[in-house]
Amino acid sequence: MNALMIKALAFAAILIIATIAVVMSLDMDVFADDITAITMGGAIAIATITAAVAVKYINQIKTDTASGELADENWDGIQEYENELPSGWAYSFLALFIWSMWYGLIGYPVNAYSQIGEYNEEVLAYNKKFEATHKNADTATLKEMGESIFLVQCQQCHGVTGDGLSGKAQDFTARMSKDQVLDVIKNGQNQLGYPMGVMPAGMAQGEQAEEIAVYVASGMRGPQPASFAACSSCHGVDGQGNDGMSPNLVSYDAALMSHTLQNGKKGMIGKMPSFKTLITPVQEKALTVYVQSLSN
């Protein structure tokens, strides 16, 4: 065995050992699943083939001489040999083709795995465990959890304290401002997907709209103006949404929070996206408890 062969074998061994060491450092069982096993097999094969090819062709460079029939074409006096494709290259290509067919159709079918699908399965499994763990969480735990969710998902637009960044988004420390109520009366609303459907624009005009806006913005305290009858048919005389059939005008109840999170809502600084696939029912409940605490 010559020195080059020894160096090549040593190089291949170092690559294989390094690959195994990296995998072990990640606390992965090499043969825990087909994916890891195939990956490891491929890494070892690459190291071995690299060493073998290097030895073969380095030795060949030392001993081979150019031979064969020259092509007629030349470039500045440089000509190419019309030699057949080396058998090693042809066999390597054939072996790679056969392996790829096996890999794609039998060993690791292309339709049998999806990285996104695996991620989604893991998220669903974790969410199921999370829901079971916290399904009976007390109010204090829900509020603490809701604050964490709010600071990650909501504070960018609504502010760390939930004040709406000076009117740029919904202010959770208050229910609605007079201007917000007037805007909805003027333009209508159909973003939250309530069973009662769209609220048409222009339900009240002029002084009546002003009366309604002042009354609703004050938390519906004091004498109820007669003009509020235009609103009570959907929102109820008490303004609490007719048992979830339309938005609650008094507080951030669970139905209002759920509809907003499920459907999103257009605001002054852009459209709030739907969170239906981003948070679980327990997290939605927790966020509701926290937002209610801000207005309290």
**What are the pLDDT digits (tens) for 111-164?**
677 788 888 889 999 999 999 999 899 999 999 999 999 999 999 999 999 998
* Tens of pLDDT, residues 31-68: 666 677 777 788 888 888 888 888 887 877 777 777 77
Confidence of residue 27 (pLDDT cuts 50, 70, 90): low
102-118 core/surface letters (b: 16 or more CB in 10 A; e: else): eeeeeeeeeeeeeeeee
pLDDT for 86 equals 79
The first and second tokens of residue 154, run together, are 């909501």
pLDDT for 88 equals 81
Highest mean pLDDT pick, 139-148, 186-195, 216-225 = 139-148
pLDDT for 125 equals 93
- In this structure, what DSSP letter does residue 189 have? B
The first and second tokens of residue 263, run together, are 């459907």
pLDDT for 131 equals 93
Taking a C-beta distance cutoff of 8 angstroms, is the pair 52, 7 a contact? no
Mean of the per-residue pLDDT values for the chain?
85
Taking a C-beta distance cutoff of 8 angstroms, is the pair 231, 203 a contact? yes
Residue 246 dihedral angles phi and psi, to the nearest 5°: -150, 170
